Protein backbone atom coordinates (compact mmCIF):
# COMPACT_ATOMS: atom_id res chain seq x y z
CA UNK A 1 0.00 0.00 0.00
CA UNK A 2 1.41 3.41 -0.95
CA UNK A 3 1.00 6.17 1.62
CA UNK A 4 1.70 9.58 0.11
CA UNK A 5 0.80 11.96 2.93
CA UNK A 6 0.90 11.88 6.75
CA UNK A 7 -1.68 9.76 8.56
CA UNK A 8 -3.45 11.83 11.23
CA UNK A 9 -6.77 10.20 12.19
CA UNK A 10 -8.11 6.87 13.40
CA UNK A 11 -9.96 6.49 10.10
CA UNK A 12 -6.71 6.98 8.16
CA UNK A 13 -4.89 4.54 10.47
CA UNK A 14 -7.53 1.91 9.74
CA UNK A 15 -7.40 2.70 6.01
CA UNK A 16 -3.63 2.19 6.04
CA UNK A 17 -3.99 -1.16 7.81
CA UNK A 18 -2.24 0.13 10.94
CA UNK A 19 -5.17 -0.52 13.29
CA UNK A 20 -8.12 -2.86 13.18
CA UNK A 21 -11.31 -1.16 11.98
CA UNK A 22 -12.97 -2.35 15.22
CA UNK A 23 -10.44 -0.26 17.22
CA UNK A 24 -11.27 2.95 15.37
CA UNK A 25 -13.56 4.41 18.03
CA UNK A 26 -11.16 3.74 20.91
CA UNK A 27 -8.24 5.15 18.93
CA UNK A 28 -10.29 8.24 18.00
CA UNK A 29 -10.60 9.00 21.71
CA UNK A 30 -6.81 8.85 22.07
CA UNK A 31 -6.31 10.97 18.94
CA UNK A 32 -8.59 13.68 20.27
CA UNK A 33 -6.40 13.88 23.39
CA UNK A 34 -2.88 13.47 21.96
CA UNK A 35 -1.79 14.44 18.44
CA UNK A 36 -1.24 11.73 15.82
CA UNK A 37 0.99 11.92 12.75
CA UNK A 38 2.77 9.16 10.87
CA UNK A 39 4.76 10.17 7.80
CA UNK A 40 4.90 8.00 4.67
CA UNK A 41 8.55 7.13 5.49
CA UNK A 42 7.54 5.83 8.93
CA UNK A 43 4.46 4.02 7.61
CA UNK A 44 6.81 2.27 5.17
CA UNK A 45 8.96 0.98 8.04
CA UNK A 46 6.06 -0.70 9.87
CA UNK A 47 5.62 -4.46 9.52
CA UNK A 48 1.84 -4.81 9.50
CA UNK A 49 2.11 -8.57 10.06
CA UNK A 50 3.89 -8.08 13.39
CA UNK A 51 1.44 -7.23 16.20
CA UNK A 52 4.43 -6.12 18.31
CA UNK A 53 6.20 -4.11 15.64
CA UNK A 54 8.64 -1.73 17.43
CA UNK A 55 8.10 1.08 14.90
CA UNK A 56 4.30 0.88 15.12
CA UNK A 57 4.54 0.87 18.91
CA UNK A 58 6.26 4.27 18.83
CA UNK A 59 3.75 6.01 16.56
CA UNK A 60 0.40 4.17 16.38
CA UNK A 61 -1.87 5.32 19.26
CA UNK A 62 -2.88 2.82 21.93
CA UNK A 63 -5.97 3.08 24.17
CA UNK A 64 -3.64 2.57 27.17
CA UNK A 65 -2.52 6.17 26.67
CA UNK A 66 -5.69 7.33 28.40
CA UNK A 67 -4.69 5.48 31.60
CA UNK A 68 -2.80 7.86 33.86
CA UNK A 69 -0.55 6.94 36.80
CA UNK A 70 -0.24 9.14 39.89
CA UNK A 71 3.49 9.76 39.32
CA UNK A 72 2.97 11.11 35.78
CA UNK A 73 3.15 14.84 35.09
CA UNK A 74 1.99 17.26 32.42
CA UNK A 75 5.49 18.82 32.38
CA UNK A 76 7.64 15.80 33.31
CA UNK A 77 11.08 17.39 32.95
CA UNK A 78 10.04 20.74 34.42
CA UNK A 79 10.47 23.15 31.51
CA UNK A 80 7.98 25.60 33.07
CA UNK A 81 9.94 26.58 36.20
CA UNK A 82 13.01 27.37 34.06
CA UNK A 83 11.31 29.44 31.39
CA UNK A 84 12.21 33.12 31.96
CA UNK A 85 10.48 34.18 28.71
CA UNK A 86 8.18 32.24 26.40
CA UNK A 87 10.14 29.91 24.14
CA UNK A 88 13.29 29.81 26.30
CA UNK A 89 14.20 27.16 28.88
CA UNK A 90 17.29 28.19 30.84
CA UNK A 91 18.05 25.23 33.10
CA UNK A 92 21.87 25.12 33.02
CA UNK A 93 24.05 28.26 33.20
CA UNK A 94 25.76 28.11 29.79
CA UNK A 95 22.99 26.88 27.52
CA UNK A 96 19.33 27.45 26.69
CA UNK A 97 16.59 25.65 24.79
CA UNK A 98 14.93 27.78 22.12
CA UNK A 99 11.51 26.32 21.41
CA UNK A 100 10.47 28.12 18.23
CA UNK A 101 7.84 25.61 17.17
CA UNK A 102 5.69 22.96 18.86
CA UNK A 103 4.87 20.99 15.73
CA UNK A 104 6.46 17.66 14.72
CA UNK A 105 6.34 15.60 11.52
CA UNK A 106 5.40 12.57 13.66
CA UNK A 107 3.94 12.38 17.15
CA UNK A 108 5.71 9.86 19.35
CA UNK A 109 3.34 8.08 21.72
CA UNK A 110 5.82 8.46 24.63
CA UNK A 111 6.62 12.14 24.00
CA UNK A 112 7.76 14.03 27.10
CA UNK A 113 6.20 17.25 25.74
CA UNK A 114 2.98 15.62 24.54
CA UNK A 115 0.86 18.20 26.35
CA UNK A 116 2.57 21.03 24.43
CA UNK A 117 3.06 19.70 20.89
CA UNK A 118 0.55 19.08 18.11
CA UNK A 119 -2.29 21.00 16.46
CA UNK A 120 -3.79 21.88 19.86
CA UNK A 121 -0.39 22.62 21.36
CA UNK A 122 1.62 25.82 21.68
CA UNK A 123 2.15 26.23 17.91
CA UNK A 124 4.86 28.49 16.48
CA UNK A 125 6.37 31.27 18.55
CA UNK A 126 4.77 34.57 17.44
CA UNK A 127 7.19 37.28 16.16
CA UNK A 128 7.10 39.38 19.34
CA UNK A 129 7.84 36.36 21.54
CA UNK A 130 10.63 35.23 19.23
CA UNK A 131 12.11 38.74 19.51
CA UNK A 132 11.94 38.51 23.31
CA UNK A 133 13.57 35.06 23.25
CA UNK A 134 16.44 36.23 21.02
CA UNK A 135 16.85 39.36 23.17
CA UNK A 136 17.08 37.11 26.23
CA UNK A 137 19.92 35.13 24.61
CA UNK A 138 21.67 38.33 23.54
CA UNK A 139 21.35 39.76 27.06
CA UNK A 140 22.91 36.78 28.87
CA UNK A 141 26.60 36.57 28.11
CA UNK A 142 26.98 33.18 29.81
CA UNK A 143 24.90 31.49 27.07
CA UNK A 144 27.46 29.55 25.04
CA UNK A 145 25.08 27.10 23.34
CA UNK A 146 21.56 27.45 21.93
CA UNK A 147 19.58 24.23 21.46
CA UNK A 148 16.69 24.51 19.01
CA UNK A 149 14.05 22.01 20.01
CA UNK A 150 10.30 22.02 20.31
CA UNK A 151 8.54 20.34 18.67
CA UNK A 152 10.90 19.62 15.84
CA UNK A 153 12.72 22.73 14.57
CA UNK A 154 13.38 21.11 11.20
CA UNK A 155 9.69 21.40 10.27
CA UNK A 156 10.33 25.13 9.82
CA UNK A 157 10.99 26.25 6.26
CA UNK A 158 14.64 26.88 5.33
CA UNK A 159 13.82 30.58 4.97
CA UNK A 160 12.34 30.76 8.48
CA UNK A 161 15.24 28.81 10.00
CA UNK A 162 17.71 31.03 8.22
CA UNK A 163 16.07 34.15 9.65
CA UNK A 164 16.33 32.81 13.21
CA UNK A 165 19.90 31.59 12.76
CA UNK A 166 21.10 34.84 11.23
CA UNK A 167 19.91 36.56 14.37
CA UNK A 168 21.98 34.13 16.45
CA UNK A 169 24.97 34.80 14.19
CA UNK A 170 24.98 38.37 15.49
CA UNK A 171 25.30 37.24 19.13
CA UNK A 172 29.02 36.94 19.68
CA UNK A 173 28.96 34.94 22.94
CA UNK A 174 26.91 32.10 21.38
CA UNK A 175 29.46 29.65 19.98
CA UNK A 176 27.41 26.50 19.38
CA UNK A 177 23.97 25.85 17.87
CA UNK A 178 22.35 22.45 18.27
CA UNK A 179 19.13 21.10 16.72
CA UNK A 180 17.12 18.23 18.16
CA UNK A 181 15.18 16.45 15.46
CA UNK A 182 13.63 13.29 14.13
CA UNK A 183 13.38 14.60 10.54
CA UNK A 184 16.32 12.69 8.95
CA UNK A 185 14.54 9.44 9.95
CA UNK A 186 10.87 10.31 9.59
CA UNK A 187 10.97 12.70 6.60
CA UNK A 188 14.44 12.22 5.07
CA UNK A 189 13.52 13.92 1.80
CA UNK A 190 13.21 17.17 3.75
CA UNK A 191 17.00 17.24 4.26
CA UNK A 192 17.84 18.93 0.98
CA UNK A 193 20.47 21.48 -0.02
CA UNK A 194 18.32 24.46 1.06
CA UNK A 195 17.62 23.09 4.53
CA UNK A 196 21.23 22.00 5.03
CA UNK A 197 22.48 25.46 4.06
CA UNK A 198 19.91 27.12 6.35
CA UNK A 199 21.02 25.02 9.35
CA UNK A 200 24.52 26.45 8.99
CA UNK A 201 23.37 30.05 8.72
CA UNK A 202 24.42 30.93 12.27
CA UNK A 203 28.08 30.52 11.31
CA UNK A 204 28.58 28.78 14.70
CA UNK A 205 29.66 25.20 15.32
CA UNK A 206 26.48 23.36 14.27
CA UNK A 207 25.31 20.07 15.78
CA UNK A 208 22.26 17.96 14.94
CA UNK A 209 21.07 15.48 17.57
CA UNK A 210 19.05 12.76 15.86
CA UNK A 211 16.33 11.03 17.88
CA UNK A 212 15.97 7.36 16.86
CA UNK A 213 15.05 4.37 18.98
CA UNK A 214 15.22 1.24 16.83
CA UNK A 215 17.82 0.09 14.28
CA UNK A 216 15.16 -0.17 11.55
CA UNK A 217 14.71 3.60 11.75
CA UNK A 218 18.19 3.95 10.24
CA UNK A 219 16.93 3.11 6.76
CA UNK A 220 18.99 3.74 3.63
CA UNK A 221 17.09 7.00 3.11
CA UNK A 222 17.70 8.11 6.71
CA UNK A 223 21.43 7.29 6.45
CA UNK A 224 21.65 9.23 3.19
CA UNK A 225 19.90 12.23 4.79
CA UNK A 226 22.35 12.15 7.70
CA UNK A 227 25.26 11.91 5.25
CA UNK A 228 24.05 15.07 3.50
CA UNK A 229 24.18 16.96 6.80
CA UNK A 230 27.53 15.52 7.88
CA UNK A 231 29.15 16.07 4.47
CA UNK A 232 28.07 19.71 4.76
CA UNK A 233 30.14 20.04 7.93
CA UNK A 234 27.43 19.48 10.55
CA UNK A 235 28.34 17.22 13.48
CA UNK A 236 25.72 14.63 14.40
CA UNK A 237 25.05 12.96 17.74
CA UNK A 238 22.21 10.65 18.72
CA UNK A 239 19.58 10.47 21.37
CA UNK A 240 17.51 7.40 22.15
CA UNK A 241 14.71 6.84 24.62
CA UNK A 242 14.79 3.46 26.32
CA UNK A 243 11.32 2.04 25.68
CA UNK A 244 9.67 -1.21 26.71
CA UNK A 245 8.69 -3.21 23.63
CA UNK A 246 10.86 -1.08 21.32
CA UNK A 247 14.52 -1.33 22.30
CA UNK A 248 14.64 -3.04 25.72
CA UNK A 249 16.88 -5.82 24.44
CA UNK A 250 20.70 -5.83 24.45
CA UNK A 251 21.05 -6.88 20.80
CA UNK A 252 18.52 -4.31 19.55
CA UNK A 253 20.25 -1.56 21.47
CA UNK A 254 23.68 -2.73 20.26
CA UNK A 255 22.48 -2.77 16.62
CA UNK A 256 21.07 0.73 17.01
CA UNK A 257 24.29 2.13 18.47
CA UNK A 258 26.37 0.40 15.79
CA UNK A 259 24.01 1.82 13.16
CA UNK A 260 24.56 5.34 14.47
CA UNK A 261 28.34 4.98 14.43
CA UNK A 262 28.30 3.44 10.91
CA UNK A 263 26.33 6.54 9.88
CA UNK A 264 28.97 8.80 11.50
CA UNK A 265 26.56 9.77 14.29
CA UNK A 266 28.14 9.64 17.74
CA UNK A 267 25.83 8.01 20.34
CA UNK A 268 25.20 10.69 22.94
CA UNK A 269 22.20 10.11 25.22
CA UNK A 270 20.21 7.03 26.19
CA UNK A 271 17.26 8.53 28.08
CA UNK A 272 15.32 6.79 30.80
CA UNK A 273 11.69 7.37 29.75
CA UNK A 274 10.09 10.42 31.36
CA UNK A 275 6.94 10.42 33.50
CA UNK A 276 4.78 11.75 30.65
CA UNK A 277 1.01 11.23 30.96
CA UNK A 278 -0.30 7.88 29.71
CA UNK A 279 3.12 6.39 28.94
CA UNK A 280 3.36 3.74 31.69
CA UNK A 281 3.30 0.93 29.10
CA UNK A 282 6.68 2.17 27.78
CA UNK A 283 8.46 2.49 31.10
CA UNK A 284 11.00 0.05 32.50
CA UNK A 285 12.64 0.14 35.90
CA UNK A 286 15.91 1.92 36.60
CA UNK A 287 17.49 -1.49 37.31
CA UNK A 288 16.37 -2.80 33.90
CA UNK A 289 17.73 0.34 32.25
CA UNK A 290 21.05 0.03 34.07
CA UNK A 291 21.39 -3.62 33.00
CA UNK A 292 20.69 -2.67 29.36
CA UNK A 293 23.16 0.22 29.43
CA UNK A 294 25.77 -2.08 31.02
CA UNK A 295 25.09 -4.71 28.32
CA UNK A 296 26.56 -2.31 25.75
CA UNK A 297 29.93 -2.31 27.50
CA UNK A 298 32.10 -5.02 25.98
CA UNK A 299 29.37 -5.93 23.47
CA UNK A 300 30.02 -2.89 21.27
CA UNK A 301 32.91 -0.51 20.63
CA UNK A 302 33.65 2.39 22.94
CA UNK A 303 32.47 4.66 20.14
CA UNK A 304 28.99 3.13 20.51
CA UNK A 305 28.50 4.01 24.20
CA UNK A 306 25.84 6.63 25.03
CA UNK A 307 25.42 8.14 28.49
CA UNK A 308 22.39 6.62 30.25
CA UNK A 309 20.60 9.60 31.78
CA UNK A 310 17.42 10.54 33.55
CA UNK A 311 15.83 13.99 33.62
CA UNK A 312 15.05 14.60 37.27
CA UNK A 313 11.33 15.50 37.53
CA UNK A 314 10.74 19.10 38.56
CA UNK A 315 13.33 20.56 36.21
CA UNK A 316 16.48 19.66 38.13
CA UNK A 317 18.31 18.58 34.97
CA UNK A 318 19.86 15.37 33.74
CA UNK A 319 21.72 12.88 35.93
CA UNK A 320 23.77 9.93 34.73
CA UNK A 321 22.12 6.82 36.17
CA UNK A 322 24.38 4.05 34.83
CA UNK A 323 25.16 1.31 37.36
CA UNK A 324 28.37 2.14 39.18
CA UNK A 325 31.26 -0.05 38.03
CA UNK A 326 33.36 0.99 41.02
CA UNK A 327 32.78 0.81 44.77
CA UNK A 328 35.03 1.93 47.61
CA UNK A 329 36.37 -0.66 50.07
CA UNK A 330 37.90 2.09 52.24
CA UNK A 331 41.54 2.97 52.74
CA UNK A 332 41.99 3.96 49.10
CA UNK A 333 40.99 0.48 47.81
CA UNK A 334 38.21 -0.11 45.32
CA UNK A 335 36.41 -2.97 43.64
CA UNK A 336 35.88 -2.50 39.91
CA UNK A 337 33.52 -4.71 37.89
CA UNK A 338 34.57 -5.52 34.32
CA UNK A 339 32.19 -5.86 31.37
CA UNK A 340 31.80 -9.62 32.09
CA UNK A 341 30.59 -8.86 35.62
CA UNK A 342 33.85 -10.03 37.30
CA UNK A 343 35.13 -7.98 40.26
CA UNK A 344 38.76 -6.77 40.48
CA UNK A 345 40.63 -4.95 43.24
CA UNK A 346 42.05 -1.53 42.45
CA UNK A 347 44.92 -1.04 42.98
CA UNK A 348 45.60 -4.78 42.43
CA UNK A 349 46.30 -6.62 45.72
CA UNK A 350 49.38 -8.59 44.48
S1 LIG B 1 9.58 14.33 17.78
FE2 LIG B 1 10.19 14.84 19.89
S3 LIG B 1 8.84 16.56 20.52
FE4 LIG B 1 7.94 15.59 18.67
S5 LIG B 1 6.48 14.06 19.44
FE6 LIG B 1 8.44 12.98 19.14
S7 LIG B 1 9.47 13.10 21.16
FE8 LIG B 1 7.83 14.67 21.14
Residues 6+ apart with CB under 8 A from 200: 165, 206, 232, 233, 234
Cα dihedral 138/314/58/228 (nearest 10) = 20
pTM: 0.95
Q: What is the pLDDT of residue 116?
A: 87
Among residues 57, 75, 91, 223, the one annotated as catalytic is 91
How many A from CA of 131 to the centre of ligand 1? 24
CA-proximal residue: ligand 1, atom 6 (nearest): 108
Q: What is the pLDDT along the chain (350 residues), one digit of tens a residue?
A: 788 999 999 999 999 999 999 999 999 999 999 999 999 999 999 999 999 999 999 999 999 999 999 999 999 888 889 999 999 999 999 999 999 999 999 999 999 999 888 887 788 899 999 999 999 999 999 999 999 998 999 999 999 999 999 999 999 999 999 999 999 999 999 999 999 999 999 999 999 999 999 999 999 999 999 999 999 999 999 999 999 999 999 999 999 999 999 999 999 999 999 999 999 999 999 999 999 999 999 899 999 999 999 999 988 999 999 988 899 999 999 999 988 889 999 999 87
Q: What is the pLDDT of residue 123?
A: 82
- The reply to whether ligand 1 has any atom less than 6 angstroms from the CB of 113 is yes
Q: What is the pLDDT of residues 196-252, one digit of tens each?
A: 999 999 999 999 999 999 999 999 999 999 999 999 999 999 999 999 999 999 999
Indicate the top mutation candidate among 6, 152, 217 to test ligand 1's pocket, ranked by most ligand atoms within 8 A of CB.
Answer: 152
Q: What is the pLDDT of residue 340?
A: 85
- Distance CA(350)–CA(347), nearest Å, equals 9
The DSSP secondary structure of 50-118, one letter per residue, reads -TT-HHHHHHS--GGGG---TT--SSTT--GGG-SSTTEEEEETTEEEEE-B---SS--TT-TTTTTSS
Closest CA to 218 of 60, 51, 52, 45: 45
Show the domains of the chain with their CATH numbers: 10-66 (no CATH), 80-320 (3.20.20.70)
- The reply to whether ligand 1 has any atom less than 6 angstroms from the CB of 182 is yes
Q: What is the pLDDT of residue 349?
A: 86
Is 104 annotated among the ligand-binding residues?
Answer: yes
> Collapsing DSSP states into helix, strand and coil, what is residue 262?
helix
Closest CA to 148 of 115, 106, 181: 181
Q: What is the pLDDT of residue 341?
A: 86
Atom of ligand 1 nearest to the CA of 113: 8
Is 108 marked active-site? Answer: yes
- The reply to whether ligand 1 has any atom less than 6 angstroms from the CB of 151 is yes
Amino acid sequence: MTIDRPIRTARELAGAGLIDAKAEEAISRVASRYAVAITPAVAGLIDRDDPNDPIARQFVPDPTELTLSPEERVDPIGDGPHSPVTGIVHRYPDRVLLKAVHVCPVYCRFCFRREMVGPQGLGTLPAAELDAAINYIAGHRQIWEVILTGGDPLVLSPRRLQEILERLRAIEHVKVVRFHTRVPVVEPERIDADLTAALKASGKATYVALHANHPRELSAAARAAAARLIDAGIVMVSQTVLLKGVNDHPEVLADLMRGFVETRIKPYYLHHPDLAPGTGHFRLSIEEGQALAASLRGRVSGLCQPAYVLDIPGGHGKAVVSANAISSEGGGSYTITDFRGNPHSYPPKE
